[in-house]
């Protein structure tokens, strides 16, 4: 009886070892391991910041690939800030048909339209009873970190179209000309639109 019992135990252990061996080599086990490794690898990439899209669902943009737009009011007086937004609406409406294929193309097209942009801004100022004039220039400036919707522009030097109204010493409104991140709504407001996230398939 003892010998038979020991033999039965040995057979049972061998059967368990065989089942474990089959599980370890099964497609299900392999698939599970691969899935776990992929999750670990993805988390690692998020931590070290290899992706331009962070784990917080925010897109970080390289300054070399961006053309910004800044409209600076004459002062922080309510009327100056209000007309700044009216100028903004006209400028965005005009730039909506820019159809730039690259940031270089965007800068070239904006540079060729600078005088027209000044005329649009000045006409808006005159229509609203303001005597000061607008100026516009393309330049490379340092800007602090800013977020627009779910897009973050880290601090650094960016090419930008700067439109100054009067002294240009008031608070500014900003957006991104290329890639286009804003457009006018039917009610005259400005709505954020992340073309970058659309390109990445995240919208």
Query: What is the rounded CA–CA span in Å between residue 75 and residue 168?
Result: 7
The rounded distance, in Å, linking the Cα atoms of 18 and 13 is 9
pLDDT number for residue 187: 43
Four-point Cα dihedral 85, 68, 187, 79, nearest 10: 0
Q: What is the value of pTM for the model shown?
A: 0.63
Residues pairing with 62 in the sheet: none
Write out the residue range of the structural domain in which residue 84 sits: 63-199
pLDDT at residue 12 in the model:
53
In a shared domain, residues 194 and 102: yes
Q: Is 133 among the domain residues?
A: yes
pLDDT given for residue 133 in this prediction: 98
**Using an 8 Å Cβ cutoff, are 175 and 87 in contact?**
no
Q: Could you tell me if 31 and 82 lie in one domain?
A: no
Dihedral pair phi/psi, residue 138, rounded to 5° = -95, 125
Q: Give the long-range contacts of residues 102-106, CB within 8 A, separation 24 or more.
A: 102/178, 103/64, 103/65, 103/66, 103/67, 103/159, 103/178, 106/67, 106/177, 106/178
pLDDT (0 to 100) of residue 146 = 83
Tracing tokens 């005159």 back to the chain, one arrives at: 126
| Spatial contact of 84 and 71, defined as CB atoms under 8 Å apart | yes
- Domain membership of residue 58 (yes or no) is no
Say how many domains are in the chain. 2
pLDDT at position 50:
33
Closest residue by Cα to residue 165 from 108, 116, 125: 125
Q: Give the per-residue pLDDT at 47.
A: 39
Print pLDDT tens along the chain (203 aa). 444 444 554 555 555 665 555 555 555 555 555 555 555 554 444 333 433 333 344 555 666 789 999 999 999 999 999 999 999 999 999 998 888 999 999 999 999 999 999 999 999 999 999 999 999 999 999 999 887 666 778 899 999 999 999 999 999 998 889 988 764 444 444 444 433 333 333 33
Asked if residue 67 and residue 43 are part of one domain, the reply reads no
Tell me, yes or no, whether 157 lies in a domain.
yes
């Amino acid at each position: 009886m003892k010998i038979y019992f020991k033999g039965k135990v040995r057979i049972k252990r061998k059967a368990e070892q065989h089942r474990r061996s089959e599980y370890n080599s099964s497609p299900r086990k392999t698939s599970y391991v691969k899935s776990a490794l992929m999750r670990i690898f993805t988390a690692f990439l998020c931590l070290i910041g290899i992706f331009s899209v962070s784990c917080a669902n925010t897109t970080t943009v390289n300054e070399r690939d961006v053309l910004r737009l800044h409209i600076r009011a004459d002062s922080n007086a309510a009327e100056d800030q209000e007309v700044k937004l009216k100028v903004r609406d006209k400028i965005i409406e005009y730039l909506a048909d820019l159809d730039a294929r690259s940031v270089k193309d965007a800068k070239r097209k904006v540079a060729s339209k600078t005088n027209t942009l000044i005329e649009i801004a000045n006409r808006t100022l005159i229509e609203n009873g303001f005597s000061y004039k607008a100026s516009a220039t393309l330049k490379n400036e340092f800007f602090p970190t800013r977020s627009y919707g779910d897009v973050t522009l880290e601090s650094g030097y960016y090419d930008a179209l700067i439109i100054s109204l009067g002294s240009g010493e008031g608070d500014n409104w900003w957006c991104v000309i290329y890639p286009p991140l804003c457009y006018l709504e039917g009610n005259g407001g400005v709505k954020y639109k992340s073309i970058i996230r659309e390109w990445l398939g995240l919208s």
